[in-house]
Structure 1
Amino acid sequence: MPAFDYPLEKLKTYMGQSPCPADFDVYWTEALEEMKAVDAQPERVAASFSTAFADCYEFYFAGVGGARVHAKLVVPKSVPKGGCPAIVQFHGYSGSSTEWSGLLTMAASGFVMAALDCRGQAGESQEIVSANLSTFKGHIIRGLRNGPKHLAFRSIFLDAAQLAGLVMDMPEVDATRVASQGGSQGGALSLACAALEPRIAKVVAQYPFLSDYYRVWQMDLAENAYDELRAFFRQVDPLHEKEEETFNTLGYIDVKNLAPRIKGNTLMAITLMDKICPPSTQFAAYNNIHAPKRHIIYYDYGHEGLPNWSDHAYDFYRDWM
């Protein structure tokens, strides 16, 4: 058992320590209204990559704030009556959508695949900056000094939900069989996507990031992917005079607070030796999901590749094949 976190029995009931803002539901209702008011102007451009059994596209749409958002899209050439199931896939922090070949297993199994490039990270999506960046560090703290509506992850969460909705509207897709999936940041986005687009029917999340920020801080693990939290306090609030306000604002983009909104059947991989996304923060997200759910615990693994996880995920989708 991990010596750096709670015992497993406590983890199984732990709900998190970070605050949930009083107007959390109003905040996201207004954010979704803003998203729905955007003329997305979806566009498919034939990709340079090709395969015999599916069509590959660069997919673009207009997101909130006017950003041009990009995703890879793979559509099976053979579409059954009623449409294909689909998976909206999300990548890890600072990265980009997977290589085309990484989408082909599920496309060959009859799934439409859409893989988002998060704004301002390594992919093609455009980032529109409308706030003081505060520090040189990343997306968690971007916009933090300017108020909840300026948080960078607000826009990224909305991009995830908007992409899912656009996929559901595609003529090749059965909108009742659409899933979200990813690991780390991608795990967080798979949860946020399902929370903000309640028609998501299945969720596959691997050691989700962006959960229970105050617990990360309390454990002195504001390093690696969470290092920007430490940088923010050192550079902006060295006396922690606004610590309570800071963590309350981060509560708007905390996936444990979004988790109760999820309706889809959820499968989560939880890693007990994870010092990047600590086990308690993963359980905080999982335990707040009220929909049907199941977790697989990797006792001796951290933030790394997990044996047989892809097979577990594939089996989770098997009834859609």
Structure 2
Amino acid sequence: MPLTFDMPFDDLLTYQGSTPRPDDFDEYWTRALADLANQPAEVEIVPAEFQTPFARCSHLWFTGTGGARVHAKLLQPVTPVGPAVLEFHGYRGFSGDWVSKLPYAALGHTVASLDMRGQGGLSIDEIPVAGWAMASYLLRGIDDVPDNLLYRHLYLDAARLAQIVMGLDGVDPDRVGATGYSQGGGLTLACAALVPGVKIAAPVYPFLSDYRRAWHLNLEKGPYDEISEYFRRRDPLHRREQEVFTRLGYVDVQNFAPRVRARTVLTVSLNDRTCPPSTQFAAYNKLTCEKSYRVYPDFGHDRLPGTDDEIYSLLSTL
């Protein structure tokens, strides 16, 4: 395997991350899941304009933490066979076109594709926060109480979507998989950690892992450059550096990794300067579940030839 810009490949396979894990990480997420359970879901399923003969296409709405109304595209096969696929999109993106989900629906799989609140889709973010929120999702809430970190709510939205889908007619709750690229890869791991019933996780170059390592590499490339921008504007002498990274540790997916029970297949590209490979292996190396990785030595944060086919084949086995 060739050397990466990041660290030698053999070192990637043992790297354990550098972002602190808060001492009360498990208590924080136990409380977060309790907050979610105490928020009525208020599920609404509305037929979409787009339809296909073999699946009902609908807009799925639910209420997440803080009272936000969260949206997902939902495809329910006319003849379901039990499995379901959860999809999570990339940073600032949206749930995508209906047609991109039809291959799974044609198999008889239910498909649900989440719109992250406050980003490019239909979900509504209604939670005010104090302090830093300038053109940034990654650090939104960092100057407020830890419970107001935006990604706490996004991870809980992913968990709620999984719970809702597992309860739908035609879905076998023991045959649910999750996948996504970049931010969607991070959400895939967080969802699998918070909902242990997820059977297969297929993250592709996941974002949201090992924030301090990404910052140390100083690649000046978004979205991790939002961390440097925060320090330049809010803490130029870095007096709060340890506090900031410890707080980000609550929403760092490497800290979720030991909780994942799903069979996990990680796809990594070694020239990825958006989500450096070391940040991805920081999470992978902490997984204790059945796991494997696929490596693209010559690619960056790109479309990776064959990856969608591999994930389709993997999730077809649900």
TM-score using structure 1 length = 0.97
Contact 1:185–1:209 (CA<8 Å) still a contact in 2?
yes
Note if contact 1:73-1:113 (Cα within 8 Å) is conserved in structure 2. yes
Partner of 2:256: 258
State which of 269, 291, 294 in structure 2 corresponds to 1:293: 291
Q: Matched residue of 1:192: which SS? A: helix
Alignment partner of 1:229 is 2:230? no
SS in 1 for 2:53: coil
User: Which residue of 2 is the match for residue 42 of structure 1?
Assistant: 43
Q: Distance in 2 between matches of 1:279 and 1:97?
A: 25
Name the counterpart of 2:146. Answer: 148
Q: Is the 8 A contact 2:45 2:58 kept in 1?
A: yes
Instruction: Return the offset for 1:228.
Output: 1.2
* Residue of structure 1 in register with 2:118 after alignment: 120
**d(CA) in 2 for partners of 1:135 and 1:294?**
37
Q: Distance in 2 between matches of 1:227 and 1:199?
A: 34
Count of paired positions: 317
Question: Residue 135 of structure 1 contacts residue 232 of structure 1 at CA under 8 Å; is this kept in 2?
Answer: no
Q: How does 1:1-321 map to 2 (within 5 A)?
A: 1-80=2-81, 84-320=82-318
Letter in 1 for 2:221: E
- What value does the CA root-mean-square deviation take over the aligned residues? 1.0
**Which runs of 5 or more structure 2 residues have no equivalent in the other structure?**
none
Residues 2 and 273 in structure 1, CA contact (< 8 A), matched pair in contact too: no
**Gap change, CA 1:292 and 1:275, over 3 Å in 2:** same
Q: Provide Cα deviations, 1:183-238, integer angstroms capped at 9, x if missing partner.
A: 10000000000001111011010000000000011111253111211111111101
CA distance in structure 2 between the partners assigned to 1:222 and 1:252 by the alignment: 24
Q: 1:79 offset after TM fit, Å?
A: 2.5
CA distance in 2, matches of 1:319, 1:135: 42
* Stretches (4+) displaced over 4 A: none
- Percent of pairs with identical residues: 45
Q: Aligned partner of 2:262: which letter? A: G
Distance (Å, rounded) in 2 between the aligned partners of 1:103 and 1:255: 26
Pairwise CA distance, 1:2: 4.4
The Cα of 1:130 is off from its aligned counterpart by 2.3
Cα distance in structure 1, aligned partners of 2:61 and 2:170: 17
Give how far 1:308 is off: 0.6
The one-character-per-residue Cα deviations of 1:102-158 (angstroms, maximum 9, x if unpaired) are 110111011100000000001000102321241413111100001211100000000
Aligned residue for 2:179, secondary structure, equals strand
